[in-house]
């Protein structure tokens, strides 16, 4: 289980454009960090690099557990959730099927599934096709797996953008509970999150 993420001297290049270089930060168990920066500064790329999808041009990403350093593959497998605007939902499938697949695939327990259903108010949209959901309802559906299958590190890309006020508050409470349980959150945002966070400007 990941207790710390440490980023050292990270540089990311997309195509032939240098997004940022010399980025250093560390995130401990129980902490959240907001990534800010202009459009195209590399916030999403940073999240994808930590998730292991992008290879950084330079620098290192270290994961530490309770008993010392973890191998990156070992830490990432089952250790992190990535949720962004690419929500992976199939528009011609029923919301309930997609939720159950995403939750079970990431290792949810029946208890976790029930909790997520309740927390994100999924019952009202369960039998709808994903294509008929609003942007906010889609987001709730894709965030549900974070609650259903507990993983220590949440990588969020504009998580609140399409949510209404009530669900923003509700998801804020879920983030707080996640941090209180020793989790970590790294979120790319333009509007501040409803919880206390560290903050990091990307590509300043």
Rounded Cα gap, residues 103 and 120, in angstroms: 13
Q: Are 88 and 142 in contact (CB under 8 A)?
A: yes
Q: What tokens does 2 get? A: 């990941």
Q: What tokens does 126 get? A: 């369960």
Nearer to another protein among residue 143 and residue 197 (C-beta): 143
Site membership for another protein, residue 59 (CB under 8 A) = no
Q: Are 38 and 44 in contact (CB under 8 A)?
A: no
Nearer to another protein among residue 25 and residue 101 (C-beta): 101
Q: Which of 40, 107, 181, 192 binds another protein (CB under 8 A)?
A: 107
Closest CA to 31 of 1, 67, 62, 5: 5
Site membership for another protein, residue 104 (CB under 8 A) = yes
Site membership for another protein, residue 197 (CB under 8 A) = no
Residues 65-84, mask of contacts with another protein (x by CB under 8 A): -----------xxx-xxx-x
Q: How many residues does the chain have?
A: 204
Residues 37-56, mask of contacts with another protein (x by CB under 8 A): --------------xxxxx-
Nearer to another protein among residue 34 and residue 142 (C-beta): 142
Nearer to another protein among residue 122 and residue 197 (C-beta): 122
Q: Which of 97, 150, 170, 194 binds another protein (CB under 8 A)?
A: 97
Rounded Cα gap, residues 150 and 78, in angstroms: 9
Nearer to another protein among residue 154 and residue 197 (C-beta): 154
SS3 of residue 14 by DSSP:
strand
Strands (DSSP E) contained in the chain are 4-14, 17-28, 32-36, 58-65, 68-70, 80-83, 153-157, 184-188, 198-201
Site membership for another protein, residue 178 (CB under 8 A) = no
Contacting residues toward another protein, per CB under 8 A: 51-55, 76-78, 80-82, 84-93, 97, 101-102, 104-107
């Amino acid at each position: 289980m990941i207790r710390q993420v440490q980023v050292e001297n990270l540089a990311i290049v997309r195509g032939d454009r240098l997004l940022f270089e010399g980025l250093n930060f560390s995130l401990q168990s129980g902490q959240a960090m907001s990534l800010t920066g202009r459009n195209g500064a590399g916030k999403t790329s940073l999240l994808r690099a930590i998730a292991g999808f992008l290879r950084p041009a330079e620098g290192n990403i270290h994961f530490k557990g309770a008993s010392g350093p973890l191998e990156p593959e070992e830490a990432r497998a089952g250790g992190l959730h990535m949720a962004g605007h690419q929500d992976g939902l199939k528009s011609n499938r029923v919301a309930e099927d997609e939720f159950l697949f995403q939750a079970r695939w990431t290792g949810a327990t029946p208890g976790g599934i029930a909790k997520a259903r309740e927390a994100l108010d999924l019952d009202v949209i369960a039998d709808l096709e994903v294509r008929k959901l609003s942007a906010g309802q889609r987001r709730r559906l894709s965030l549900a797996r974070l609650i259903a299958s507990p993983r220590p590190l949440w990588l969020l890309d504009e998580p609140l953008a399409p949510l209404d006020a009530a669900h923003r508050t509700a998801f804020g409470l879920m983030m707080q509970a996640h941090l209180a349980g020793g989790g970590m959150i790294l979120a790319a945002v333009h509007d501040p999150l409803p919880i206390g966070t560290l903050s990091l400007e990307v590509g300043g």
